[in-house]
Amino acid sequence: MSLRSKALALVEVLLRVPPLFVVDEFLKISLGLPVSSGEEGSVLSNITVDGVAVDISDPDVNYYDANFYNAFFFTIVKFLVCCLGCMSALCIFVLYTKHLIIVYLYLTSVGLVFVSYWTNVSAIKQVQALTLVENSPHHSTSILEDILNLNIKNLIDVDGPGILVIQNYAIQFLLAVIFKYVHLGPRYSTIQKLLPISFMAPSFLAMLPVPPNLLHHSPVFSALLPLLLVKYVLWSSAYNVIQVVYAGYQHGRLFVSNYGLSALVETEWMRLNVPCVLRVFWVLRVAEHALMLLVDNYDEEAEEGLKVSTLLAVQSLASMTKSLLVTGCETITAVLGMTSVISFFCHYIGNFFQWILLTDEEEDKSIGTVSAILFYILALQTGLTSLNPEKRFIRLCRNFCLLFTALLHFLHNIVNPMLMSLSASHNPSTHRHIRALGVCAFLIMFPISLLVYLWSQHTISTWLLAVSAFSIEVIVKVIVSLMIYSLFLIDAYRSTFWEQLDDYVYYIRAFGNTIEFCFGIFLFFNGAWILLFESGGAIRAVMMCIHAYFNIWCEARAGWSVFMKRRTAVNKINSLREASPDQLNRLDDVCAICYQEMHSAKITRCNHYFHGVCLRKWLYVQDRCPLCHDILYKIEADGNKDNEGNEDNTNNQNLLLEEDPELLLGEGVR
C-alpha cells in the first residue's frame, strides 16, 4: 500500500471517530436516566424531585404529585433525546465517505457561526466594560477617535479596547474566510462578498462612537446572514437526506435477501474498518484522560513546590495507569475500544509464536478475533461498566487473568499439530523440535508461576478456582501432547511395526479428555455458584447454557460415541481368525493398509491379511474390505447386521480423524 493510500485510510478512520465520542458521552450520562450509586452497579430507578432522589419502586411514592409528574416527564424526554442523539451519531458513523464529508462540512459551518457569535459577544462586552468605566483612561473615547488623534498609547495598550478589537477583527476575518469555503449554501458573488462584512461588523461598530445598545446587539445581527445560509442548506437538503437514508435501507434489505444478514455485517464491518476505528477512538480517549491527569498533577506539584522523588514518580505513574484502565472501560463504547486494542496485541502475540514455530497457518491467525470476543463476553458477563471504579479495576485484572489462560489454550492449539507433524513425519530438523518443545515448556512454566503467585496473593474464591482450573487444564493438555509426541518419536526409531501404539495413544488421549471433561463439569458448578450467590445476570446464564451444551454434553456424547465404536471395532477384530506364522511366511507380503511388514495379522472372511490395528482403524470408517470391498464382519443369525455398518458409513467417515488424526501419519497409513 502506497503512502497516499495509507494517509487516505487514516483520514477515513479519523472521520468516523467523532460519532463514537458522541455516543460515549451519552452513555456516560446513562442516556439521561437518573442513576443511583450502588455497590454492584447502577440502579436506574431514582428520579430527582425538588433536589431529592425518589425511588419509583417505593410503594409510598405519590405518583399524582405535580412535581413528581414533571420530573418523570422530563426524565423520559431527556432519555428519548439521548437515544435520538445516539441513533443519529450511529447513522453518521455508517455513512459513505462522501456523505460523511458533507455532514462534517455542514457541522463545521454551524460551529463557525456560533464561534463567531460568542467571540463577538465576548469582545463587545470587554470593550464596553473598558469604555464605560469612569476611572478608565479609555472612558468617553472611541477607538476611531484614538486613530484620528494618533493616540498610539491607547491603541497599543494591552488592556485597552484597541487590542481587543484588532484581535477580534483578525479572528472574525479568519472565521469568515473558512466559512466561505466550507458552507454548502448558494455561492452567489454578492453573498460571498457580504460574508466577511457580516462576520466583522461588530468589530467595525466597536471602533465607532455608536450607542451602547446598538453595539450590544450587533453580534446577533452579524450572525443572521450565515445562519440563514445554514438553515437554507438544512431545509433544502432534507429531501436528499431522506433519499440517502432510504437508499441505504433498500441496499441493506436487498443485500440481506440475496446473501444473508451475516454477509451484510461482514461487508459493512470491512467497509467501515470498525476494529481500527475503535482502536483509534480508545487511544484518543485514553490520551485525553491522561493529558487531564498530567495537567492536574503538574498543577498540584507547582502549588506545593515539591521535588518529586523517583518512588513518588513511580507511584504516580502506577496510579495514573490504574485510572486510565478504569476510565478506559466505563462505557460500552470504551469496552469495545479496549477490546479492539486487546485484539491487536493478541494478534501480534500469535504472530510471534507462529514465527517461533515457523508456521503460517491461516486458522492460527484468528487468535486476535477469539481473544476480542472472549474479553467482550467477560466484560458483559461480569457487568464491568456498571461497577464502581475500585471494583471495576479488580474485575478488569481478573478478566485479564482469564484471558491470559485462554490465550495459553489457543497457543497449545497452535503447537499441538506442530508436535504431531514433527514426530509422525520423522522430521529431521532439530531446531524445529527445539522451538516446539520450548513453547511447550513455556506453556507449562507460565501457568505454574501464575498459580503460585495468585494463590500466594489472594484468598480462595470462585474466580481463583476458575483461573486455576483453566491453568491446570492447559498443563494437562501440554503433557498429553508431549507424551504422544514421545510415543511417535519412539515409533520413528523402531525397525518393526509397533502394534500397541494405537492403544497407548488412545489411553493417553482418553485420560486427557477425561480430565478436561471433569474440569468442564467443575467450571459449570463454579459458574452456577457465581450465578446464584455472587453476581447473576442473563448473559452469565446464557453462557453457562452454552458451556453445558458444547463443553459437557457434546463432549460426553462424542467421547461415548468414540468409545462404543472402538469397542465394537475391537469385538469385530477379535472375531476374525489370527494368521499363523506359517501362513505369514507363505504370504510374504505387507499390510495393504499401512504397507508395513506383517509379523502378525488378521484374516478376513474374504481371505485377505491385514494388521489387526490397521483393520480396526479401517472399521472406524467402513465395514468393507479395503481390497475387495466385501463385508468384513457378518453374523449369520441376524442378517440385519450386514446393513448396520453400511448405514453408519457416512457418520463414521470422520471418526478416525476425530479420535486420532495423527495416527494416519504415525502408522504410515496412506
pLDDT tens column, 598-640: 888 888 888 888 888 888 878 777 778 888 888 876 544 343 4
Q: Residue 244 above 50 pLDDT?
A: yes
User: For 29-33, 88-92, 489-493, 634-638, which range has the lowest pLDDT when averaged over its residues?
Assistant: 634-638
> In terms of C-beta density within 10 A (0-12 exposed, 13-18 middle, 19 or more buried), how is residue 597 classed?
middle
pLDDT attached to residue 669: 34
| pLDDT tens figures, 638-667 | 434 444 444 444 344 444 434 444 333 333
Distance CA 46, CA 58 (A): 10
* Cell 513453547, residue located: 439
- DSSP for residue 61: -
Integer CA distances (angstroms), 236 to 186, 194, 232, 240, in order: 11, 22, 6, 8
> In terms of C-beta density within 10 A (0-12 exposed, 13-18 middle, 19 or more buried), how is residue 667 classed?
buried
- What average pLDDT does the segment 437-459 reach? 94
- DSSP for residue 552: I
Reduced to 3 states (helix: H, G, I; strand: E, B; else coil), residue 631 is: strand
What is the percent of the chain with per-residue pLDDT over 70, rounded to a whole number? Answer: 81
> In terms of C-beta density within 10 A (0-12 exposed, 13-18 middle, 19 or more buried), how is residue 37 classed?
exposed
User: For 62-76, 228-242, 376-390, which range has the lowest pLDDT when averaged over its residues?
Assistant: 62-76
> In terms of C-beta density within 10 A (0-12 exposed, 13-18 middle, 19 or more buried), how is residue 440 classed?
buried
Distance CA 207, CA 141 (A): 10
- What average pLDDT does the segment 21-40 reach? 74
Instruction: Provide the pLDDT confidence category of residue 267 given band limits of 50, 70 and 90.
Output: very high
pLDDT attached to residue 93: 92
Instruction: Provide the pLDDT confidence category of residue 411 given band limits of 50, 70 and 90.
Output: very high
Q: Residue 380 above 70 pLDDT?
A: yes
* 3-class SS shares of the chain: helix, strand, coil, % to 5: 75, 5, 20
pLDDT attached to residue 604: 86
Q: Residue 116 above 80 pLDDT?
A: yes
| pLDDT tens figures, 80-106 | 999 999 999 999 999 999 999 999 999
Q: Residue 240 above 60 pLDDT?
A: yes
Winning range, highest mean pLDDT, from 135-149, 395-409, 552-566: 395-409
pLDDT attached to residue 409: 92
- What average pLDDT does the segment 26-44 reach? 63
pLDDT attached to residue 301: 57
Q: Residue 136 above 70 pLDDT?
A: no
First-to-last alpha carbon distance for the chain, in angstroms, is: 44
- What average pLDDT does the segment 450-459 reach? 92
Which residues on adjacent β-strands are paired with residue 46? Answer: 55
- What average pLDDT does the segment 467-477 reach? 94
Distance CA 524, CA 516 (A): 12
Q: Give the strand pairing for 36-37 and 42-43.
A: antiparallel
Q: Residue 388 above 80 pLDDT?
A: yes
Integer CA distances (angstroms), 668 to 425, 488, 498, in order: 9, 11, 11
Report the Cα 442 to chain-centroid distance in Å.
26
